[in-house]
Chain A
Amino acid sequence: MNSSFFFGISTVGYILAMVFYIAYLVFRSRQVGVVATAVTVTSFISQTIAFFLRWGEFYQMHHKLGLNISIFRPPITNLYESLVFFVWCLILGYLIIEFKYKNRAFGAFVTPVSAMVLAFIEMTGMSKEIQPLVPALQSNWLLAHVITSFISYAMFGLAFATSLMYLIKKTETKTEPAYIFWSVSLGLIIVLILAMGLDYLRFNVVATSSETMKKFLFKATFRSNSPLIVVLSWIGSAFVIFLVWLYGPVLKRIINAFNISDNMLDDITYRMIAIGFPVFTLGGLIFGAIWADQAWGVYWSWDPKETWSLITWFVYAFFLHARLMRGWKGKKVAVVAVVGFVAVAFTYLGVNLLLSGLHSYGALE
């Protein structure tokens, strides 16, 4: 049994866990909740085993190629491995919260994020092969940079889930700005997933490079050759967003049925960001700058990836100063936390797909 076997188990497991957590949210049955947790823990263990097996395979492959690498170098070198590592951090963070706060309801918001990432991996068909390290990646600073970045991304992802829940819970009318903000954001996420799903169904492409990925992205919808489909896609997207807006209160009722206080959500959001921000500053910005300095001779070059991490940093600095110094509370800061994670997602995926830069190793090789 090799690593991909265990990765397979964990992928199926996380998607099942999502189904169970949502079922738990809807039916409020304790048994379903216990099953959801059990499935998540099993998948997590399976993924951990897979990670260490892959570590061994990665080491052996380099050994066979006659390159001595340290046994302490984990296999986090390409987009696939880094996304999987992100899921691992996210689930670990979630399980800690579940046990600490004794509340399962967040699971229905966190597991979809990991299922989305795994679906993204499958849909784009990115390469899962173990690849040898290209020269620029043979650096310990880079390793520290990648690991700490993903730990902070996971923290921000959890803050995103709780702040979104907070907004859903606290908005009263369909016309207030915060309600429109969360319903449109959620609607857009759903539209993006649907559009990528349609790409996959229509072309059934296995994107082997970032070029093919760029070529086929939204080709079945927004970038179709037929103007009719383009127009329909836009109308369809507007309709999906409208539906979310219209049926938002249903979601609110479901969340309200659970014993989660507003303060608890607000508290978790803040704590996650209070851990994520320093880790991100150190790992995402400082280690990244040191690595760039050692490898390329420039610690900061305003390339799109660097600039987007700086934008992310400013959004979370905004969050912390608004909350701690200006006394912003509740919905206002929750909106900032949601925007922050959108910036994180764009820093990691959007920059690679839509913009270009030094970080070409993150491309869908």
Chain B
Amino acid sequence: MNRDDTDKKPFLDRLWDFFASVRLAIVLFALIAVSSIIGTVIEQNAPAEKNIIVLKRLVGDSLAPAFYRILEAAGFMDMYRSWWFVTLLMLFAINLIVCSLERLPRILRLMREPIRPLDSDKRNFPIKKVLRVKGSPEELREEVLKVVKAIGVKAENSPLKDGGYQLYGQSGNWSRLGVYITHLSILIIMIGAVIGIFFGFKGFLNLPEGYTSDVAYARDGTPHPLGFSVRCDDFEVEFYGMSEMPKDYKSWLTVIKNGREVMRKVIEVNEPLKYGGYTFYQSSYGMVPNARGIFILKLTGPGMKTETVFKRLGETFQIPGTNIIGYIKDYSPALAFDRNGNPYTYTDMMNNPAVYVEFKEGDKIKYAGWILKRFPRTWTLPDGNRVEFVDYWGVQYTGLQVRKDPGVWVVYLGCIIMAIGLYVAFFMSHKRVWVFVTRDGKESAITLLATANKNRGALERKIEASLKRLQRGR
């Protein structure tokens, strides 16, 4: 087609051709890949100062702020949501739809066409095997049929002159749809993502122990009403043995609707709470600044008398059945001892909480020492009484990821279809076979012609093996 012809075509046709080209697809692959790299170098949705520091290193101190403003205006600070990146993805989707629509009808037509016998065995095919075997064509029929069946093809018969015949057939005809199934699945996943963007909610909720909230917060900090309330009853980090290696993060959550507790659940990292279309995931935790928590201590006096007390720093308690008074003098969220045996706090997080308690009977200090939550042997006092450090409550918050995404099932459906499509597209092939068997004196001449659109080598090896078996049998 020359240039004049193209110019004469109506605009819509030219637009269609533009979107139907694989060349556009290849250009889009490259554009999306290259522009995505930028978004991994510039930290997305980060505080401005962070990226300005990076830019200062690249372009110098004086130019960095101006550079930052230009990049920000071009959407690079929230690149994957910027108008031009979304446009690229939309072009990609349109390209995918048009490309498939352009080619699909032809493929469907080809698929419906039944396989026909060939007019001659002199044609050239990617796989062509010629051999001579003792016996008449009719005597050989069963064995030739076996060869064709071994390839996985259902054979049809077309007689030739002189008692000869042609067996032919195909398999995996529909495997040519694999590519289109894969393309469709990408579109379904994109539709799922769009549903999530328009009808979903993605946010977070940092909830201190003992607090209740009826909203979650979007990324920009705007509150989003949930329609119910969530309370954090407790948060705990569990460690492996005595190590610093976290084993589990757990939050005890309660859902309250219309003033009634409707659900309680302990959530962990791979074990979220689901209620009212929202899902709450354990995603982070931290300390509430300047919080004064409550020490929960389980006291055991003589005669196994037990009592649980709730006390703050500086308060006192009495061991049941005795006159011993404990005074909570000091606290450390993460206690350790240095080489000289002096205590120090090694992190702000509650990795190894400990209380320093002074015990008095009357005016006399009986003993004093650290009681550690993670070390039960520190719970037993020299006189046999026990002070179990159950928890220091009300100082940690649990970081919850809150999500509502009605599109996620569409995405999962897309993923399943994609797995099927890829399997069909890459691991199944369309095979066609024709076998001519003709009389040649006392022998028969066998000509086998075959094609496969994928993995031709494997088909050829299979054919060679079964032909060898046929020859050996004679």
Leading 10 A-B pairs by shortest Cβ distance:
A297-B281, A278-B422, A135-B269, A304-B40, A314-B33, A325-B22, A297-B401, A318-B29, A297-B403, A302-B80
Residues of A within 8 A of B128 (CB): none
- Interface residues in chain A, defined as those with a beta carbon under 8 Å from any beta carbon in chain B: 65-67, 131-132, 134-136, 138-139, 274-275, 277-278, 281-282, 286, 289-290, 293-300, 302, 304, 307-308, 310-311, 314-315, 317-318, 321-322, 325-326, 351, 355
Given A65-B240, A282-B422, A135 and B248 contact (CB-CB distance below 8 Å):
yes
Given A132-B245, A134-B246, A315-B33, A321 and B25 contact (CB-CB distance below 8 Å):
yes
Nearest B residue to A308, CB-CB = B40
Q: Are B39 and A286 in contact (CB under 8 A)?
A: no
- What secondary structure prevails in chain B residues at the interface with A? helix
Nearest A residue to B407, CB-CB = A299
Residues of A within 8 A of B247 (CB): 65, 67, 132, 134-135
CA distance in complex: A138, B26 (Å)? 39
CA distance in complex: A281, B44 (Å)? 25
Q: Are A298 and B22 in contact (CB under 8 A)?
A: no
Q: Which of B37, B249, B270, B419 contacts A294 (CB 8 A)?
A: B270
CA distance in complex: A278, B454 (Å)? 15
- What secondary structure prevails in chain A residues at the interface with B? helix
Q: Are A296 and B401 in contact (CB under 8 A)?
A: yes
Q: Check if B136 is an interface residue, CB within 8 A of chain A.
A: no
Residues of B within 8 A of A298 (CB): 202, 401, 403
Q: Check if B51 is an interface residue, CB within 8 A of chain A.
A: no
Q: Are B419 and A135 in contact (CB under 8 A)?
A: no
Cross-chain pairs A/B with CB under 8 angstroms, 18 sampled: A67-B247, A132-B240, A134-B245, A135-B246, A135-B269, A136-B269, A274-B426, A278-B427, A295-B270, A297-B272, A297-B279, A297-B403, A298-B202, A307-B80, A308-B40, A314-B32, A314-B36, A321-B29
* Number of chain B residues close to chain A: CB under 8 A: 46
Residues of B within 8 A of A135 (CB): 246-249, 268-270
Q: Check if B181 is an interface residue, CB within 8 A of chain A.
A: no
Measured CB to CB, the closest approach of chain B to A301, in angstroms, equals 9
Tell me the residues in window 383-426 of chain B with beta carbons closer than 8 Å to chain A beta carbons.
Answer: 401-403, 408, 411-412, 415, 418-419, 422-423, 425-426
Residues of B within 8 A of A304 (CB): 40
Q: Are B39 and A302 in contact (CB under 8 A)?
A: yes
Nearest B residue to A142, CB-CB = B270
Q: Are A351 and B40 in contact (CB under 8 A)?
A: yes
Q: Are B418 and A297 in contact (CB under 8 A)?
A: no
Residues of A within 8 A of B80 (CB): 302, 307
Mask: chain B, 245-281; 1 = CB below 8 Å from A; 0 = not: 1111100000000000000000011101000000101
With most chain B CB atoms within 10 A of its CB, the pick from A139, A289, A318 is A318
Residues of A within 8 A of B279 (CB): 297
Q: Check if B173 is an interface residue, CB within 8 A of chain A.
A: no
Given A67-B240, A297-B281, A321-B22, A290 and B415 contact (CB-CB distance below 8 Å):
yes
CA distance in complex: A286, B416 (Å)? 9
Residues of B within 8 A of A300 (CB): 193
Nearest A residue to B34, CB-CB = A311
Measured CB to CB, the closest approach of chain B to A183, in angstroms, equals 23
CA distance in complex: A289, B416 (Å)? 13
Residues of B within 8 A of A295 (CB): 269-270, 281
Residues of A within 8 A of B246 (CB): 134-135
Q: Check if B283 is an interface residue, CB within 8 A of chain A.
A: yes
